Structure 1
Amino acid sequence: MNYKVFMLALAVLILGILFVYEKYENQQQSLEKASLKEEINIEGFGAKGNDDKDDSTAIQEAINYGVKHELGKVKVTGNQKFILQKGIILKQGIELELGKNTTLEVQGDFRVFEIMKNASITNGIIEVSDKNFSSEVLYFDGEQNFWSWETSSIEGMNIINTSDENTGTAIALVADHSNEFISFVDFSSIKIVGFRTGVFIKAETPTGKYNFVNGNRFINLTLDDCVECIVIESSKSIPNEVSGNQFTDFQIQLSDATEEVLKVSGSDNRFQGMIWDVESYASETKIVNFSAQSMRNSLISNVNETYIVDQGDNNSYYPQSTP
């Protein structure tokens, strides 16, 4: 091989190496951009776990940044505790992902998270430690018009009131004005401990056409040491209706604080699961109440009609009491 041919081959080889390297760099940059496109971390906005400083602003700024730049996920991770002293609006298009052992400690009395449609929370612990807390932890407002094509959901969370006061509401779904509705939102594998009300669902009488909270699913829900475990308030049907909601495979643990397990208005809601230690804590107390504004609701559990008040129409509950 002469010198010119050798130099030409060497030049081609070098160009090939440079081309491959540039392609690799571009791929790495694309991967980095894709990663940034998917998620952001609150630490970049000044949040530091395991200190006494309020992290609410940092979390809200991370959410706002995610919305502005079309980033899909905000992450709060690590075996750390972050402090919340102000309420947070979880805006459309944002998934808030917590580590399974990441805690958000609520200090004060305020609505903790207002959930907008196409927003979701996965994993983590929300701990209410303030004895004066009387608000909602997760609040869904019917003005958002949640529907089947939305991606709103709550999954894998522990919501715990450690104040020993049994105050506040863990999850609330409320349609309180005309043309509001909340439907087909999924709640799965959630534990709720120590609240006044575990799950509260309400469709208030509207001044105009209608409102409703229908067709939502609560799967693998655990309720422990709540005064009222599940409360549903509405009329039997329109104009204000709570209908077709499903509570499947729930586990409810009674305590000295428990007064009612189910308090139900509305129609065609389904409840299936276990209610623990009824004889120890309820004795002859009626812990299930189907109101005069209830119709065709059903309860399948270990609790018979001895513990049930039914003032409604065509409600059913199994097992029946034995003669």
Structure 2
Amino acid sequence: MNKKTVLMVVGLSFITTVVVYLAMMYIFSGSADHEREGFVNAADFGAVAGDENDDAGAIQKAVDYSAEHNIGTVKVTGAERYRVADEVVVKQGVEIEFGRNTVVEVVGDFTVFTLEKNASMINGVIEISDPSFRSNVIRLDGEEQFWSWETTQVQGMTLINTSGENLGTGIQIAADQTNEYVSFVDFDSITIVGFNRGIHLTAAPSDGEPNFVNGNRFTDMTLEDCVECIVMEGAVTVPNEVSGNQFTNMQIQPTEKTESIMIVSGTNNYFQGMIWDVQLLSSNQPLTLTDQSSGNTIRTNLDATYFLDDGTENIYE
């Protein structure tokens, strides 16, 4: 092989290497930039707005990448519509940030977002358009054992069921196995519209270590057109208590479909807010304090005639 041929071979090899490198950088969507920018864009993993294809897998890949590389934030942004047909698990240490006008349309019946501890969600609209939906939009499972030093939170979101069926649950917090608990999690500025249950807190009986859903904070919540706006299922105390949860600055708008504003079990829970248009309610006593309730405080614009109180030492004013 003469010198000229050798130089040509070397040159072609170099060009091939450069082309392959640039192609790989394109395929992996600028992955070297993620660490520098401090966030992952779900579009880099295949989420495409407006194409009516399922984006759940792409969003999950972005979450997984962010968790594995300790990046922290996944962005799904723009005044765009995405579609999901499968569950997304928000992993520990990851925050999903939607644009304020970003819509995620849910097709099918499944828990849409499950949050692990130290995971967060912020902004965006989650829209249920499928009349078959019976599940939860956002779920926290007590097997994660959420506690005060975790950073889990949900903020600035709108959860809306536009299917016309008023089914499913907006937010569910559940401790349903031995030694499960969800405590001290913050939910802030969330609107929940058109579900069977707006917010559902539940602690199931346990034969071993207690289960509990205690000390969670719900601030500036708006609930509208839900059959049951807030449901708290548990006991006065261990082994399955739902206690010390705080709901402040609530705005509740019932409709003709609303059967209950609150069904409360547990101890020392606190509720404060405005309840509108009670003349639309089918029940004359839409606020129920069960025989497993004690020491709860409810401060609204409704007087005692609207309460059915089978508990002890509850305060409503």
Contact 2:258 2:282 in 1 (8 A): no
CA distance in structure 2 between the aligned counterparts of 1:119 and 1:294, rounded to whole angstroms? 31
Alignment of 1:116-131 (within 5 A): 116-131=116-131
The one-letter code of the counterpart of 1:211 is N
The one-letter code of the counterpart of 2:151 is T
Answer with 1 or 2: which has the greater Rg: 1
Alignment of 1:139-218 (within 5 A): 139-218=139-218
Normalising by structure 1, what TM-score? 0.87
- Deviation readout 1:28-54 (Å, 9 max, x if unpaired): xxx957533x20101111111011110
* CA RMSD, Structure 1 to Structure 2 (Å): 1.2
Match of 2:235, SS state, is coil
- Deviation readout 1:139-180 (Å, 9 max, x if unpaired): 000000000100000000000000010000000000001111
Match of 2:188, SS state, is strand
Contact 2:196 2:226 in 1 (8 A): yes
Which structure 1 residue ranges, 4+ long, deviate > 6 Å from structure 2?
none
CA 1:165–1:68: 2 relative to 1, 3 Å: same
CA distance in structure 1 between the aligned counterparts of 2:241 and 2:36, rounded to whole angstroms? 43
CA distance in structure 2 between the aligned counterparts of 1:56 and 1:310, rounded to whole angstroms? 44
For the pair 1:59 / 2:70, whether they are aligned, the reply is no
1:112 aligns to what?
112
2:288 aligns to what?
289
1:229 aligns to what?
229
Percent of paired sites with the same residue: 49
CA distance in structure 1 between the aligned counterparts of 2:85 and 2:159, rounded to whole angstroms? 16
Alignment of 1:249-288 (within 5 A): 249-278=249-278, 280-282=279-281, 285-288=284-287
The number of aligned residues is 286
Normalising by structure 2, what TM-score? 0.89
2:11 aligns to what?
none
CA 1:209–1:32: 2 relative to 1, 3 Å: closer
CA distance in structure 1 between the aligned counterparts of 2:226 and 2:284, rounded to whole angstroms? 16
Contact 1:177 1:207 in 2 (8 A): no
Contact 2:34 2:71 in 1 (8 A): no
Displacement of 1:283 in angstroms is 6.7
Displacement of 1:284 in angstroms is 5.9
CA 1:186–1:224: 2 relative to 1, 3 Å: same
Contact 2:260 2:283 in 1 (8 A): no
CA distance in structure 2 between the aligned counterparts of 1:177 and 1:205, rounded to whole angstroms? 8
The one-letter code of the counterpart of 2:89 is I
- Deviation readout 1:188-215 (Å, 9 max, x if unpaired): 0000000000000001001212111000
CA distance in structure 1 between the aligned counterparts of 2:98 and 2:208, rounded to whole angstroms? 40
Match of 1:243, SS state, is coil
CA distance in structure 1 between the aligned counterparts of 2:295 and 2:202, rounded to whole angstroms? 18
Match of 1:61, SS state, is helix
